[in-house]
Amino acid sequence: MSLSVELKDLEVLTTNAKQIQDDVLKEILTLNANTEYLKRFLDGSSDKELFKKNVPVVSYNDVKPYIERVANGEPSDVISGGTITRFVQSTGTSGGIHKIFPVNDKYIENLGYLLAVSSLITSNDKVDEKGKKMAFLYNRLESKTPSGLALSSSFTSYFMSDYFKNRSSKCNSEYTSPDQVILCPDNNQSVYCHLLCGLSQREKVVGVSATFAHALIKAINALQIYWKELSSNIRSGHVSEWITDLDCKNAVSAILGGPDPELADVIEQECSHKSWEGIITRLWPKAKFIECIVTGQMAQYIPTLDFYSNKLPIVSMVYGSSESIFGVNVDPLSKPQDVSYTFLPNISYFEFLPIDHEEDMNTIVDLVGVKLGCYYETVVTSYFGLHRYLIGDILQVTGFYNNTPQFRFVRRKNIVLSVNSEATTEQDILKGLASATLVLESSNSMLTGFTCYADISSFPGHYVFYWELKAKDVDDVVELDENVLEECCYALEESFDALYKRLRSKEGSIGALEIKVVQQGTFDSLMEYFISKGGSVAQYKTPMCINSSETLAVLEDKVIARFYSQKSPPLNL
């Protein structure tokens, strides 16, 4: 299995979006006509009008019983007309619960297609110059559903497939790491080996990439821990003993070639600088771009990436989920805040529920029916058994590429902080964070992880932000400057909306915002906690808001200091 992708295909797809979407729906309805799920509503018909009239818009809990029956061994046609060959599992960090979805090879092919199109776009736009990408890609061991089908994250399903093995070199700029490193299921060993391969080929590295920004920050953290050992491996030409995955070790040894004391000296010299500002460009001087998703909740990592990379352009290319792939960024060099994703009309059938009319399902529009500037929640009908399924992401239409709309990722639905009648959205939180990190810049520390929750255990309830801080200079310890951190609390509050400020400053029904500083490594522990529940490193997103007591306990254990806002935010007139 291999994929042949040409950029002109994208032109054709986006020009004929309407027809392609109609064809996709027809194909899906014909394929699934006799499933137990769809028969109830359509009685075997594949008519679009009937579909729109009869098939309800649903969320995960509505389809979960059907999905679980297939996972437990009932035939695929409970929900899907195609053969189900495996399940993919969402990370559970964006919506709070782990969801599983039945899929087959077509799903993996779609993922391969998305990655191939995105590679083509970056090479075409000269972002991705001739050279290699140091890509922090990870795999995990698959588990099994009770009926024995493979269950894994979507990336694992792709890496384990022939689509990955046979990927076209035209579509994928070469990685510095051999496939054995990507496929190694122990993510500590793989991050170490990714770094070793990237360092030993430092002159060839033109780009540094990961799926989500978080995975890239994690790689830099690993570099801070291991650089002495990495340079000693390069000096001797031997890979450390603790790399026990033999396929991985042999492949990395072959890349090292032999001892390289000169390179080891350079690495030691760069990494022993007091400040790690610009470390990426110092170690990989030919790197021209960073590639990872920095939209949505990943935006919080932009300042840290800018710090480590001396503000190399960040290319945020793809948008997808376990349920379906959505789109690709056709303008790779757009600024993170301007990134939009052009939907791919051949992947699933897409509809859009205007967010001001969530109660009225009659207002749902087709992909080509969305209006510029308006906000929608995506509703997906997939080849694998999801029909009119609400994804939970809020998007805004920013333009059209040929005849296909482009969307800015706005926020997850339902992720809000609230202790009273106010609703502080993910976007409000990110805005607050941007101004609080500006305040933090006057200190010696930077923010490396955060999450928050609404504490209503006492009255008045208040917002709590958990912050993990790190000293800007590697050998320094974080100095917790009370004034700066109290100002950070205030900067967060000041950027929330008018209702928050009224309830906080006038009515006193919201208490002062609190920042709880946690020990270094806390957010790694949080990730490990989620991974232990079935998540994957490649897809991991730190939850922006916490609402489970178990997760809170992981954080509460690690709190080292608390700071409160000392003044009330001004009322908006």
Assess contact for 513 and 562: CB atoms under 8 A. Answer: no
- How far apart are CB 134 and ligand AMP at their closest, in Å? 21
295 vs 451 by CB, closer to ligand AMP? 295
416 vs 478 by CB, closer to ligand AMP? 416
DSSP H helices, 125-260, are 154-159, 162-165, 179-183, 187-200, 213-236, 246-256
- How far apart are CB 96 and ligand AMP at their closest, in Å? 11
The pairs formed by 263-270 with CB atoms below 8 angstroms and a separation of 24 or more are 263/199, 263/200, 263/202, 263/231, 263/234, 264/231, 264/232, 264/234, 264/235, 266/202, 267/199, 267/227, 267/230, 267/231, 267/234, 268/227, 268/228, 268/231
330-349: string of b/e by CB count within 10 Å (b at 16+)? Answer: bbbeeebeebbbbbbbbbbb
- How far apart are CB 121 and ligand AMP at their closest, in Å? 14
Assess contact for 344 and 114: CB atoms under 8 A. Answer: yes
SS3 of residue 19 by DSSP = helix
- How far apart are CB 225 and ligand AMP at their closest, in Å? 27
3-state helix, strand, coil split of the chain in percent (to 5) is 40, 20, 35
Assess contact for 371 and 362: CB atoms under 8 A. Answer: no
340 vs 565 by CB, closer to ligand AMP? 340
- How far apart are CB 421 and ligand AMP at their closest, in Å? 26
Interface ranges with ligand AMP (CB under 6 A) = 90-91, 94, 293, 295-296, 319-322, 391, 393, 409, 412, 539
284 vs 409 by CB, closer to ligand AMP? 409
256 vs 299 by CB, closer to ligand AMP? 299
SS3 of residue 566 by DSSP = coil
SS3 of residue 259 by DSSP = coil
- How far apart are CB 88 and ligand AMP at their closest, in Å? 8
Residue with tokens 């002159």: 203
Separation CA 231–CA 260 (nearest Å)? 9
326 vs 523 by CB, closer to ligand AMP? 326
201 vs 295 by CB, closer to ligand AMP? 295
- How far apart are CB 104 and ligand AMP at their closest, in Å? 17
User: Which residue sits closest to ligand AMP, CB atoms considered?
Assistant: 296
